Amino acid sequence: MEPTTLNTARLELRPFGPADEDEVYAACQDPDIQRWTMVPSPYAREHARGFVGELVPGGWREDTACSFAVRLGPGGPLVAAVGVHVHEVFGTKAYEIGFWAVKEHRGQGFMTEAVSAVARWAFTELGAARLEWRAEVGNTASRAVAEKAGFRMEGLLRASLHRADSVHDSWVGALLPGDLGITPAVPYLPSGSRTSPLSVEPPRLQP
């Protein structure tokens, strides 16, 4: 995927680069980010350097992850990070969104604004048929952002989130193109929209 920049009313979203190392390192010292996301803990300088210099460009190049640095306008401070991760599931692509917000910039709607912009981009440019969100049970802040962005909660996945020495339950939700008024790249036939073979009445024999 070719790296791209997105803009909203207040924000600029562009791929992370080496110049973002200091701000990423500072943001990820936040105990909440280390507690609720999959960033390393403790978070060292080399983690930030590897993220902006290797992981992010590699993800864009290999079509496995599209990660955006969210800034308060061009040249403004880093306020958040949003990424779309691409997985192969039974030969088709599945898309999952993840995000974290810089502590000093929470509570102003930046995260919801950025997630909404990236979701629209994933549907219109990547052709995603479904965008999934997951978070460890108890991460109410992440869940609130997802719900404000239109994600519908679909349930709880037991032992689905792996950490270094344990597994945890996670909430799962999803957003579809139609939820945002976007025509999906592939037609969506929800359950009940097609006649099941079991519900078809067999033909009657004429006497």
Tell me, letter by letter, the H, E, C secondary structure of 137-155. CCCHHHHHHHHHCCCEEEE
Task: Confirm whether 205 is domain-assigned.
Answer: no
Mean pLDDT of 184-195: 83
Q: Distance (Å, rounded) from C-alpha 154 to C-alpha 145?
A: 15
- Work out the pLDDT band at 206, boundaries 50, 70, 90: low
pTM reported for the whole predicted model: 0.91
Task: Confirm whether 21 is domain-assigned.
Answer: yes
Domain span at 87: 6-188
Inter-residue contact 36 to 139 (CB < 8 Å): yes
pLDDT per position as a tens digit, 114-151:
999 999 999 999 999 999 999 999 999 999 999 999 99
How many domains does the chain fold into? Answer: 1
Q: What is the CATH number of the domain that holds 136?
A: 3.40.630.30
Q: Distance (Å, rounded) from C-alpha 59 to C-alpha 170?
A: 24
Burial letters 157-179, b for 16+ CB under 10 A, else e:
eeeebeeeeeeeebbbbbbbbee
